[in-house]
Amino acid sequence: MSHEEMRLSLGAYILGGLDAEETRAVEAHLATCAECRAEAEGFEMLPALLDAVPVSRAMALAPAEAPVEAVAPPVLLAKVRARRRVNRLRWGAAAAAVAAAALVGGVALGPVVNPAGPIAVPAPAVTQPAPVARYTLSSADGVQVDVALVRKNWGTELELSCHGMLGEGVYSVWVSNADGGWERAASWSSSAYQGTAVLTGATAQQPSAIRGIQIRDEAQHALASLTIG
């Protein structure tokens, strides 16, 4: 392989995706090529950082998501107006110096990464309460999702059982509240299972506040929709 081919193989090498023969070839090249060594060193920390994201979460990120833009609530802007007069007095060399020093710091991610994988969490000694409601959503194409809503002190747990997904793709379950806003409660990839997928979703809404449930495909098209109450 040429130098350029070796260089382009470095990503797959760092990610552990090359076969034994290619791995040996890349390592032999690294021993003699300072440029590729420097490139590989730049990648070295990335796998450990990627491990901060659990596999199931990473898989759910596979479909492209549009960046979310949030609109500032009026109450926040009112606070700004109220404090602006006071704040003007605070501006000056000292405040600017503090801000500049703080901004240089950045987020020290290294020490917070947990390369050993998920942290052990003591199992909650709580008995599972019975679902408060059960629904079945089905589409014309034969997609069927059974949903059971379980009340939790933080909101609602959704027990989902999904069958008949069409081909490979990432599906998601959305719930809406009384204000008509939709929130993703769970997502899963249909390529990783055969037949039925059983998973758990979550929303901060109380079961009584949930007004609708939707199953969406990768392109965010609703496959099945249900209105409650």
Partner 1 sequence: MPMDEEAVAAMYRDHGAALRRFARGAVGSEQQAEDIVQEAIIRVWKLAPETTVGLRAYLYRTVRNLIVDEYRHQARRPRVVDSLDDGFDRAYDAERIDVLLGRVVMEEALLRLTAEHRQALIALHYRRLSVAEAAEELGVPVGTVKSRCFYALKALRSTLEEMGVEP
Report if residue 129 touches partner 1, rule: CB under 8 A: no
Report if residue 107 touches partner 1, rule: CB under 8 A: yes
Distance in angstroms (rounded) separating the CA atoms of residues 39 and 44: 9
Contact 51, 117 (CB under 8 A): yes
We find the least distance from the C-beta atom of residue 83 to partner 1, in angstroms, to be 7
- Host H or E run for residue 57: helix 55-60
Report if residue 43 touches partner 1, rule: CB under 8 A: yes
Contact 132, 120 (CB under 8 A): no
Which part of the chain contacts partner 1 (CB under 8 A), choosing from 27-35, 79-87, 141-149, 207-215?
79-87
Among 126, 130, 140, 219, binds partner 1 (CB under 8 A): 126
Report if residue 57 touches partner 1, rule: CB under 8 A: yes
Contact 130, 207 (CB under 8 A): no
Cβ-based nearer residue to partner 1, 99 or 142: 99
Longest alpha-carbon distance in the chain: 70
Which part of the chain contacts partner 1 (CB under 8 A), choosing from 27-35, 92-100, 138-146, 221-229?
92-100
Report if residue 9 touches partner 1, rule: CB under 8 A: yes
Q: Which residues, 6+ apart, have CB-to-CB distance to 170 below 8 Å?
A: 59, 60, 62, 63, 187, 188, 189, 190, 217, 218
Contact 40, 13 (CB under 8 A): yes
Among 24, 27, 35, 47, binds partner 1 (CB under 8 A): 47
Among 114, 134, 163, 193, binds partner 1 (CB under 8 A): 114
Distance in angstroms (rounded) separating the CA atoms of residues 14 and 197: 32
We find the least distance from the C-beta atom of residue 139 to partner 1, in angstroms, to be 24
Cβ-based nearer residue to partner 1, 31 or 108: 108
We find the least distance from the C-beta atom of residue 60 to partner 1, in angstroms, to be 8
Report if residue 10 touches partner 1, rule: CB under 8 A: yes
Buried b or exposed e, range 58-88, using 16+ CB within 10 angstroms: eebeeeeeeeeeeeeeeeeeeeeeeeeeeee
Which residues, numbered 162-221, are part of the site for partner 1 (CB under 8 A)?
Answer: 185-186, 200-202, 204
Token pair, residue 66, equals 């549009």
Report if residue 85 touches partner 1, rule: CB under 8 A: no
Cβ-based nearer residue to partner 1, 124 or 140: 124
Distance in angstroms (rounded) separating the CA atoms of residues 2 and 139: 53
Which part of the chain contacts partner 1 (CB under 8 A), choosing from 27-35, 88-96, 128-136, 138-146?
88-96
